[in-house]
A and B are shown apart, each in its own frame.
Chain A
Amino acid sequence: MAKVVVLGAGIAGHTASALLKKKLGGKHEVVVVAPNAYYHWIPSNIWIGVGRMTIDQVRFRLDKRYQKAGIIFKQAKAVSFHPEGDSEINKGFVTIEYTGQDKAGTTEKVDYDFLINATGPKLKFEATEGLGPGKNTVSVCSYDHAHEAWEKLQLAFKKMENGEHQKFLIGTGHPGATCQGAAFEYIMNVAYEIKKRKLSHLADIKWITNEYEVGDFGMGGAYIKRGGYITSTKIFAESFLKESGITWLKRAGVTKVEPGKVHYELLDGTIGEEGFDFSMLIPAFSGHGFTAFNKQGEDITASIFAPNGFMKVDADYTSKPFDEWKAADWPQTYQNPLYHNMFAAGIAFAPPHSISKPMKSPNGTAIFPAPPRTGMPSGVTGKVVAQNIIDWIKTGKPTLKHKASMARMGAACIISAGYGMIGGAAATMTVSPIVQDWDKFPEYGRDINYTMGEAGLAGHWLKWFMHYMFLHKAKGYPFWWLLPE
């Protein structure tokens, strides 16, 4: 009997554990370790943040789902990795600390034959002084943060209804932040809600971003066919902002936040400040600060994890200039190179480098987006890792025939611009591949026939449909396995 341990129950981890159990059945053990009692459909946090959905509409309890599937669930957080075991345990294990199930604070060693690290990012608010919930800005990165954002947004609306002018500042809250797409969705939805309430004349809405150009989205932008032209997403995104009456400040690295004021540095070295009444800024992401030890108890953290805390996999981590980056730098199987029964999927794997070009100010501040890992690639990498482990268990051989490089797979991003089955809108974007392959596609970096952008009501229906479809899949409802990642 094989034992597969999955750390994390987000899109990648949950996809992996569900597939593992379905294919391996009762003969083998699947264990999920996750600190939250709930599964959470993160893309719909935007709608919680503008009061269009409630927390309970984006989450469900994991314990019942896993009990029904025969998956062992431990509500705990991973603390340290021991891929060689120790003096007492002769196989790899992780130490965990319970966060629930009436065992909060209790630690345990969980051994495994295969390990999938799908722990996602740490929201590193502390990397920017004064940033985050409980301090000076709101967030939409988790459902409780998004709910707080909605409560604060309502206060701003109330002030405008009383005739008071309000300044909204939304974007990235660290020079190296990612998830520009989520922040862009939020600013579009805030503008939509303000317009719906006929309060636009009292609102000053500004997009602040570390992107070199608006529309970069952490993937170096893209070229799309639009209106008889092949256009950069810079034009597409700026057009959306302009249409919604939003101004923008680009190439800006937020360095500090005080009550009602953001400090930033621009790529040209200029230091500036921007005032606000309401601000939602995305924090930097990092790994969770796990440690790793060999059998003798020696610290091997640096050999397993990159300096940013994400787990090393089958990527090319050789330091090289932007002009020498290749599609082949990106991992395909997400297998750890040192411990082959260990994998990292979703946001937990260490990318070889960013997708956007690294940029530094004259003061030495790196101001450019980290690479985004959105829902679709997270689900696909979770699936592929699970498939390879399933094959390995069933055949006894690590064929690793299932591959999913971000330089080969495409992704769809739906950027909501307002909620409403008749009056809503969204920009639907597809990019293929996610990471440019300039050798294969020398003119545009991507396949222009599968890289597109389109705005309209259909996009809103798509995002709404995907909300319910992916929750149906995640809950294990009938025919869930037929639905794609």
Chain B
Amino acid sequence: MKEEVKRTIAYSQESYPPMPTKSTLFWRRNIIWQAWRWVVLNIKIMKIVVGGHS
């Protein structure tokens, strides 16, 4: 069944937060780009873990 498009209720709290664009969704799911991001995130996390205690 096709997902129904929900109507935005103006001035509701749910009306204010940002929604991702099609481009953002594309890059979130692009395997090649996400493989690169996996490497970058691992490095960032490693730096944080190693640097956070003595």
Contacts and interface: CB of A to CB of B under 8 A. Distances in A.
Interface of A: 195, 198, 200-201, 227, 235, 238-239, 241-243, 245, 247-248, 376, 380, 383-384, 401-404, 408-412, 422-423, 425, 428, 430, 432-433, 450, 452, 454-459, 461-462, 484-485
A403 B30 CA distance: 40
Contacts of B41: 428, 454, 458-459, 462
Interface of B: 1, 3-4, 6, 13-14, 16-20, 27-31, 34-35, 37-38, 41-42, 44-54
Give the 10 A-B CB pairs with smallest separation, nearest first.
Answer: A409-B52, A404-B53, A410-B48, A238-B17, A456-B28, A458-B38, A458-B37, A457-B34, A458-B34, A239-B17
Nearest to B6: A245
B18 A410 contact: no
A388 to B, nearest CB: 11
B53 A408 contact: yes
B16 A457 contact: no
Interface of B is mostly: helix
A245 B1 CA distance: 17
Contacts of B31: 422, 457
A462 B42 contact: yes
A302 to B, nearest CB: 30
B17 to A, nearest CB: 4
B34 A461 contact: yes
A263 B13 CA distance: 22
A411 B19 contact: no
A419 to B, nearest CB: 14
B48 A411 contact: yes
9 contacts: A195-B3, A227-B18, A238-B16, A239-B19, A243-B19, A402-B54, A457-B28, A461-B34, A462-B41
A243 B20 contact: yes
A450 B48 contact: yes
A376 B45 CA distance: 11
A457 B32 CA distance: 10
Given A384-B53, A402-B53, A422-B31, 16 more contacts: A235-B17, A242-B14, A243-B19, A243-B20, A380-B49, A401-B54, A402-B54, A404-B53, A409-B52, A430-B48, A452-B44, A456-B29, A456-B34, A456-B37, A458-B34, A485-B49
Contact of B48 (A195, A241, A425, A432): A432
Given A410-B49, A412-B48, A425-B28, A248 B42 contact: no
B4 to A, nearest CB: 5
B17 A462 contact: no
Contacts of A403: 53-54
A335 B20 CA distance: 47
B17 A242 contact: yes
Contacts of B50: 484
B17 A409 contact: no
Given A239-B17, A242-B14, A432 B28 contact: no
A56 to B, nearest CB: 27
A201 B5 CA distance: 10
Contacts of A200: 3
Contacts of A248: 13-14
Nearest to A460: B34
Given A243-B20, A402-B54, A455 B48 contact: no
Nearest to B1: A198
A56 B51 CA distance: 34
Contacts of A422: 29, 31
Nearest to A457: B34
A403 B52 CA distance: 9
A484 B49 contact: yes
Contacts of B42: 462
A431 B30 CA distance: 26
Contacts of B46: 484
A106 B3 CA distance: 59
Contact of B3 (A201, A241, A458): A201
